Amino acid sequence: MNGVRQERGQDYEVRGRELLFDKALAKEGRLGPIRWLSIFLGIAGTYRKNDSVDVVYESAGQRRVASALPIIPPKAEPSRPRT
């Protein structure tokens, strides 16, 4: 994740075909026209959180890489009534 090797069981778990990370991951959203203009003029940069997940695995005896995998936010836990 973000160029740093992660260890199964320590940093993430595998459930089916998904990797579940302990820490929250986020992709940078689209930049609006004002943000683009401020970057173009050198007034501001973009310092938003933009995580990247690449997976290296073996299939049929060959090493393969899946790059820039989609990040799916966890489903919110249903709220429980307070007593």
Domain ranges of the chain: 12-66
pLDDT of residue 75: 72
Residue with more model confidence, 4 or 47: 4
pLDDT of residue 65: 94
Mean predicted lDDT score pLDDT of the chain: 78
Look up the pTM and report it. 0.58
SS (H, E, C) the chain: CCCCCCCECCCEEEECCEEEECCCCCCCCCCCHHHHHHHHCCCCCCCCCCCCCCEEEEECCEEEEECCCCCCCCCCCCCCCCC
**Greatest mean pLDDT among 23-27, 42-46, 50-54:** 50-54
CA dihedral in degrees (28, 8, 15, 79; nearest 10)?
Answer: -60
